[in-house]
A and B are shown apart, each in its own frame.
Chain A
Amino acid sequence: MLQRLWLIPVLPFAGFVLNGLNALLGARFLPRRAVGVLACAAVLGSFLLSLGAVTGLGTRSTGWRFTQDLFTWIPMGQAADGADLTVRWGYALDPLSAVLILVVTGIGFLIHVYSIGYMADEPGEAFARFFSYLNLFMAMMLTLVLGASLPVVFVGWEGVGLCSYLLIGFYHDRMFDEASRMTCADAGRKAFITNRVGDIGFMLGMLLLFSRAGTLDIQGILGQVGSFGPRVCTAAALLLFLGACGKSAQIPLFVWLPDAMAGPTPVSALIHAATMVTAGVYVTCRMAPLYLASPEAMATVAGVGALTALLAALIGIAQDDIKKVLAYSTVSQLGYMMLAAGVGAFSAGIFHLLTHAFFKALLFLGAGSVIHALSGEQDIRAMGGLRGRLPLTHAAFLVAVLAISGIPPFAGFFSKDAILWAALGGRGGSPLLWAVGVLTAGITAFYMMRLYLLVFAGEPRLSERARHHLHESPAVMTVPLLVLAAGSALAGLLGVSRFLGGGRLPDLLGRYLAPVPGLGAADLAAAEAGAAGTGAAAFGIAGLSEWEALAAVLVVSLGGMAVAWAIYGHGRPVPAAAPAAGPIVRLVKGKFFVDEAIEALVLRPYRALCRLSAAFDETIVDGLVNAVGTATDVASQVARYAQTGYVRNYALVFFLGTVAILYWVLR
């Protein structure tokens, strides 16, 4: 079954081609039902193949790493020192990518099924186009995850960026935000370009590693990390992290994710919650040995991650659009994953990626269900009291809210706790990081509870039209919700920390990921040993045991939920915008003005530069070209006077030339 590894990305790609051709030709060749079935079948096929491949991994014969080279992609000969520079297109499967492909294909399949119901109102052509893009995205994401060398990963990296652009701007004729006159196409463009800024870092990092390692094969690079020297490691790690910031929406490149909500909700669920945005985390964990070799890079990653988590959570408090709340929540949780990576707890980060995929996808699909039921309403101030009217959606949504808030025994509790404990006592960890993480957990609990209360509880505040059409979603949409709810509830059991399980529920995920370079317990122990003196012990909180830390987090989370209950619960009227409560409120409501800062610091000078270049092109470049023409004109105006019309003048010139030639020949 491992031999069929290459089929895993190829199946969705075939689906893309078929549905794409169908869409191009006006959606006449495949009926609507066939389009949906085709797309879902492709992804289901990938999921089953992934299952088969993963079960084949780890047997005595194949070991923990399986590589499959398909063809020579860029033949480049040999370097001066004999290293083989040729780039091959190959896929590799190891525990890390195994986890990812199962998540991607599994949740991807559920979302494909959900989309059949959600997009049912779209015209045939758009329907086919949507599913072809979705399949293309799956193909690209799987290429990214399975890639054995950095260029292959990069192809997938760019590919998912492209699909993100296509899908965000799917409603290309609609306006996204009336206030700022932003169309959905603008949002797609913003996403693409912001990603590109990050990609510069990725490409430069790739080049740096290539120049030092002589190869672009990932295992080859990781094997030579020891020989790079600290500066190269730091530089390469930071460059790759810049790319990860773009993809995984860390500060300052997160601005595209909230605007990416312009796309259809299944897109938000799949791409901007469960899979694409996790690509940055995945690559960071994949290159873990590189990061482990550079404490500065690790500190940067942890710091950026923590700050992003806090900032996004704060912004999320004040949002009124259901999808925007979830978007900022995604940014915040991604910050958690980066924080985990930054303190060396890569497997904890992957664990959180896994659980987050479940409950965030569930949250988005649930939100989509609500929006669908309310005929397109997205403002939570116009919702309420849906608990009784949308029972299945409500139940699933509640599970997700509890999971993300870190309430045991749901999934988020275990993964978040693992991260926070590593932030406290792990390599490069510090109480400050831990405190930020705990505070963010509290704020997360607060705004998720706020969201839940405003949407499902209390008295309905619906518009007439929404009230009239209110209905629970069809089965094709609710079944995936229930599956994801089960996942959100149970996935936590995969990674129960040692101290919680008491030895009976071992850390399954951590042990599974151990063979991957950089993720193993040995690496972690070495990392922890290297951090001696900077951990909690140095700050006089040596006595804080794991139970106490866990209790602190739990208390803060429950406290956040209680505050939300106090403000929004019991059917209290929705408080109007806080009356001029000062600059802090304005700051938070204004999303900390990051977009405006980027506009002023980056975009405005850039546009000025563009205008300058345009002026340069028009005056100087065009001027030069026109000058040539003008010079020719002037020269001809002068030279025309040689045509006197008198034959004798012409004869004179003949004679002059003849004499000259004769003189020159005869001398």
Chain B
Amino acid sequence: MHVEFFLIIAALLFSIGCVGVLIRRNAIVILMCIELMLNAVNLTFVAFAAEGQAMTGHIFVFFVMTVAAAEAAVGLAIVIAFFRRRRSADVDDASLMRW
């Protein structure tokens, strides 16, 4: 299997994730799109690790997963706190700091 195949898949997934972050209004869906992006990056790391026969890529993915978990937890906690205040998970409602 070509490494490019996996790299292309990862690039496409990453782009889709980016578009999702910019398009969706729901905070949780945005967080999920971020997770999608992180997964695409993980895939790239693993692909390069396989190509170069180096375990370093796997370690990187390990830590990315750890950090993604932590980040998801804290992000969702924030969404919950925000939801308690505003009764809405819409990101466009968090726009008080504007002109």
Contacts and interface: CB of A to CB of B under 8 A. Distances in A.
User: Is the pairing of A and B real?
Assistant: yes
A643 B91 CA distance: 15
Interface string B83-99: 00000000110111111
Contact of B21 (A640, A641, A643, A651): A651
A207 to B, nearest CB: 62
B97 A643 contact: yes
Contact of B91 (A641, A647, A652): A647
A651 B18 CA distance: 9
Contact of B18 (A640, A644, A647, A655): A655
Nearest to A658: B18
Given A646-B92, A647-B91, A655 B22 contact: yes
A645 interface: yes
A645 B92 CA distance: 8
Contact of B95 (A641, A645, A651, A655): A645
Interface in B1-49: 18, 21-23, 25
A645 B98 contact: yes
A641 B92 contact: no
A439 B25 CA distance: 109
Contacts of A651: 21-22
A137 to B, nearest CB: 70
A644 B97 CA distance: 8
Nearest to A643: B99
Contact of A647 (B23, B94, B99): B94
A510 B64 CA distance: 110
A648 B98 CA distance: 13
Interface string A625-667: 0000000000000001101111110011001000000000000
B4 to A, nearest CB: 16
Interface string A230-247: 000000000000000000
Contacts of B23: 648
Nearest to A647: B91
Contacts of A648: 21-23, 25, 91-92
Nearest to A655: B18
B97 A645 contact: yes
A316 B66 CA distance: 108
B77 to A, nearest CB: 17
Contacts of A641: 99
Most chain A beta carbons < 10 A, residue from B96, B97, B99: B99
A418 to B, nearest CB: 92
Interface in B47-99: 91-92, 94-99
Most chain B beta carbons < 10 A, residue from A640, A641, A643, A648: A648
B61 to A, nearest CB: 22
A646 B95 contact: yes
A22 to B, nearest CB: 68
Nearest to B99: A640
A647 B34 CA distance: 14
A350 B18 CA distance: 101
Most chain A beta carbons < 10 A, residue from B18, B25, B96: B18
Most chain A beta carbons < 10 A, residue from B22, B23, B25, B97: B22
A34 B38 CA distance: 96
Contacts of A645: 94-99
A640 B99 CA distance: 6
Contacts of A640: 99
A640 B98 CA distance: 8
Nearest to B92: A646
A652 B20 CA distance: 11
A643 B92 CA distance: 13
Contacts of B25: 648
Contact of A646 (B18, B21, B91): B91
Contacts of B22: 648, 651-652, 655
Interface in A174-202: none
B25 to A, nearest CB: 8
A645 B99 CA distance: 8
A652 B25 CA distance: 13
A651 B21 CA distance: 8
A645 B25 CA distance: 14
Contacts of B94: 645, 647
Contacts of A652: 22
Contacts of A647: 91, 94-95
A368 to B, nearest CB: 79
A646 B91 CA distance: 7
Contacts of A644: 95, 98-99
Contacts of B92: 646, 648
B28 to A, nearest CB: 14
B49 to A, nearest CB: 22
A641 B99 CA distance: 6
Contacts of B96: 645
A217 to B, nearest CB: 73
15 contacts: A640-B99, A644-B95, A645-B94, A645-B96, A645-B97, A645-B99, A646-B92, A646-B95, A647-B91, A647-B95, A648-B22, A648-B23, A648-B91, A648-B92, A652-B22
Pairs A-B, 5 closest by C-beta atoms: A645-B98, A645-B95, A640-B99, A643-B99, A652-B22
Interface of A: 640-641, 643-648, 651-652, 655
Given A648-B21, A652-B22, 5 more contacts: A644-B98, A644-B99, A648-B22, A648-B23, A651-B21
